[in-house]
């Protein structure tokens, strides 16, 4: 049986599909290859998967916000890893409909697909953005998340609520994963690690929101993928016991982070070392919808799935910069 992975041409989706295929699973991957960022990068990720794994990887170009199209998918998958979404906090300020379609309509469609196909486990991407205006650190899955600061965060919170309803009504085993600032090879061009590396290598100023006075729980992609797969392999039980996040239905919520909050200027220093360039600084005000600090309490996923991150920011930053140079042909 295959595993269905949405957003398979995306950063986390492609890395998760790669790990599943490498261990012997087959993967059906769907993605609409939109132009939120350069589709050439998405196609390059797909080419890597096709080149390494051949017929074990099947790609279907499809928008999961189209329920009719989803109904045409083959029936030979028993688990879903729903990682596709319209990402980005700032983009949501000017393009709200993209988030409504992908993150609300699309998520509801995927839940209906999971219910109709009676899948054994529905794993989906939430976000650390749901913690919004919380000022108690580290963020815990037990914390209330009622005050999102962006439409993106609001849609991710809504996804958690929709999934809780399906887990309750239809006993759909589900796990939501709140990702914390993922970075690494094949990362996204709209993320700080890529933006800063590009600017450093080009000799351009680094745009530092809040003057760089921010902290982030940077989490390396390999650690994220190990957490996703550990959760995928162990669905929450339908036993009326309280799960991580508080549900008595078969629905668990976990933070996946490095469990270390890094000063953004320390990350800039690591990038300077890895690129051999001195940063020019372009201080900017705090951006609407953004949060000053993130920090993951990962005790729940550690307890239930044995997850511990293995890659420090000191190790991960040079790995990303090395990949970035290779991908762009920079000596």
Res 210: pLDDT:
78
253, 160 contact by CB (below 8 A): yes
Res 289: pLDDT:
65
Per the annotation, the verdict on 152 as an active-site residue is: yes
pTM score above 0.85: yes
Query: Could you give the dihedral angle defined by the CA atoms of residues 148, 153, 155 and 157, in that order, rounded to the nearest 10 degrees?
Result: -70
287, 129 contact by CB (below 8 A): no
27, 46 contact by CB (below 8 A): no
96, 102 contact by CB (below 8 A): no
Q: Which of 238, 268, 234 is nearest to 250 (CA)?
A: 238
321, 183 contact by CB (below 8 A): no
Q: How far is residue 82's CA from residue 85's CA, in Å, rounded to a whole number?
A: 8
Q: Where are the domains of the chain?
A: 2-183+219-259+296-310
Report the top-level CATH class of 2-183+219-259+296-310: alpha beta
Terminal C-alpha separation, the chain? 43
Q: Give the chain's residues under pLDDT 70.
A: 289
152, 220, 254, 324: the active-site residue: 152
Res 281: pLDDT:
86
201, 165 contact by CB (below 8 A): no
Provide the H-helix boundaries in 150-279. 151-170, 192-202, 221-232, 264-275
């Amino acid at each position: 049986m295959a595993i269905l992975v949405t957003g398979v041409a995306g950063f986390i989706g492609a890395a998760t599909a790669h790990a599943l295929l490498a261990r012997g699973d087959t993967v059906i991957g769907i993605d609409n290859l939109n132009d939120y960022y350069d589709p050439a990068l998405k196609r390059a990720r797909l080419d890597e998967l096709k080149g390494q794994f051949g017929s074990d990887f099947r790609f279907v170009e499809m928008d999961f916000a189209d329920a009719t199209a989803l109904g045409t998918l083959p029936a030979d998958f028993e688990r879903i890893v729903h990682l596709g979404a319209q990402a980005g906090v700032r983009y949501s300020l000017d393009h709200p409909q993209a988030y409504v379609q992908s993150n609300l309509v699309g998520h509801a469609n995927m839940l209906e697909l999971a219910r109709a196909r009676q899948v054994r486990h529905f794993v989906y991407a939430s976000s650390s953005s749901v913690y919004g205006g919380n000022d108690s650190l580290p963020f815990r899955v037990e914390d209330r998340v009622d005050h999102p600061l962006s439409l993106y965060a609001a849609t991710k919170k809504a996804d958690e609520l929709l999934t809780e309803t399906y887990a309750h009504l239809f006993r759909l085993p589900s796990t939501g994963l709140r990702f914390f600032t993922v970075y690494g090879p094949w990362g996204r061009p709209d993320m700080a690690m890529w933006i800063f590396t590009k600017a450093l290598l080009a000799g351009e100023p680094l745009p530092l929101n809040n003057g760089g006075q921010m902290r982030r729980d940077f989490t390396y992609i390999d650690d994220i993928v190990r957490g996703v797969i550990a959760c995928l392999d162990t669905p929450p039980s339908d036993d009326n016991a309280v799960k991580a996040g508080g549900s008595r239905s078969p629905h668990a919520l976990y933070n996946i982070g490095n469990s270390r909050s890094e000063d953004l200027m320390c990350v800039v220093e690591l990038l300077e070392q890895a690129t051999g360039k001195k940063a020019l600084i372009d201080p900017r005000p705090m951006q609407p919808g953004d949060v000053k600090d993130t920090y993951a309490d990962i005790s729940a996923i550690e307890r239930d799935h044995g997850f511990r991150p293995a890659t420090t920011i000191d190790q991960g930053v040079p790995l990303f910069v090395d990949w970035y140079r290779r991908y762009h042909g920079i000596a």
